[in-house]
Amino acid sequence: MPVLLALLAYVALEIWVLVLVGQAVGFLGLLGLLVASALVGAWALKHEGRRSLADLGRAVRAGRPAEAEVAGGMYVALAGVLLVVPGMLSTLVALVLLVPPVRRALARRAAARAVRAGRARMGPTITVVGAGAPAPGPWGGSPAARDPWHGRVIEGQVIEARDPDGEDPDENGAGDARRGD
């Protein structure tokens, strides 16, 4: 119910601002502003959206977290939608979101908030060292040279524990074959 009331208040405010602007510039001037806003919104969605996808690709290829790039892309999409929606207030908010320093600052804050929220929801974690590494063989050399996973830590969360032999593990993690039953 509060969301509906807020939406109705926004629509009423947007109509009031449109009437004021229409009185100042005339009906054709207002119509021109709304059409120009929609065209700029379509251009922003296309141009800035491609730029955001390129930034995301660079972050992924560099192997660094891409939360800020994803959030920045979402802000560009939001700005484009706000520009296409008829209204002066939505256009003003969209133009502010299209300013790169403002968008980057908002994206960094949103990404940091998302990372904090994700960490809070993860629950208990386990650390696996050497997962998937080949066993040391007779060919010599140090274990670190033969083990591509040596020294790497992979954090994860156990969703479901299964024995590789297909037996369900008991509460201690041992399957039926290991208990001697």
Q: Residue 53 pLDDT > 90, yes or no?
A: no
- Tokens representing 47? 């141009």
Higher pLDDT, 139 or 97: 97
Q: Residue 180 pLDDT > 50, yes or no?
A: no
Percent of the chain scoring above 70 in pLDDT: 65
Q: Quick check: helix, strand or coil at residue 150?
A: coil
pLDDT value of position 76: 84
Average pLDDT for 95-120: 80
> Cα-flanking dihedrals φ and ψ of residue 32, to 5°?
-60, -40
Q: Residue 43 pLDDT > 90, yes or no?
A: no
For residue 128, the cross-strand partners are 154
Higher pLDDT, 154 or 61: 61
> Cα-flanking dihedrals φ and ψ of residue 46, to 5°?
-75, -55
For residue 24, the cross-strand partners are none
| CB distance 143 to 150 below 8 Å | yes
Q: Residue 179 pLDDT > 50, yes or no?
A: no
Beta strands in the chain (DSSP E): 126-129, 153-156
Residue 25 binned pLDDT confidence (cut-offs 50, 70, 90):
very high
- Tokens representing 24? 């100042």
Q: Residue 48 pLDDT > 80, yes or no?
A: no
What is the secondary structure of 64-89 as a DSSP string? ---HHHHHHHHHHHHHHHHHHSS-HH
CB environment 139-164: b (16+ within 10 A), e (fewer): eeeeeeeebeeeeeeeeeeeeeeeee
Q: Residue 142 pLDDT > 60, yes or no?
A: no
pLDDT value of position 72: 80
Residue 181 binned pLDDT confidence (cut-offs 50, 70, 90):
very low
- Tokens representing 38? 């929609």
> Cα-flanking dihedrals φ and ψ of residue 3, to 5°?
-65, -40
Query: How far lies 53's CA from each of 4, 77, 105, in Å?
Result: 34, 11, 18
